[in-house]
Amino acid sequence: MKLSVAEIETMYRAALITAWDEVFGTPVPKRLSNPFLRRFLAFEVQTQIARACPKDLLAGWPKLRGMIRLPRLLHSSQAAV
């Protein structure tokens, strides 16, 4: 099953459990909530996508991540003033 993060966001518990089984090959840990099931599944989907990306594309990721984070830091420091 090829999943997307958008699909995971709209899945009901039964579908999340089926997806977990297919992705991880293990039963869902007891008492794991739907939000955590979604987070773990989405993280795994994003990790698989990142593994498929060419290395030169990922080389600029730390720089891009810093550029994205900077406005949030500026916004939060202005709110504190």
For 75, the domain range is 5-80
Q: How many CA atoms lie within 13 A of 59 on its CB side?
A: 4
Confidence of residue 9 (pLDDT cuts 50, 70, 90): very high
**Structurally, how many domains does the chain consist of?**
1
Confidence of residue 48 (pLDDT cuts 50, 70, 90): confident
Residue 33 gets the label, from left (phi > 0), alpha (psi -120 to 50) or beta, of beta
74 pLDDT exceeds 50? Answer: no
Mean pLDDT of 7-30: 92
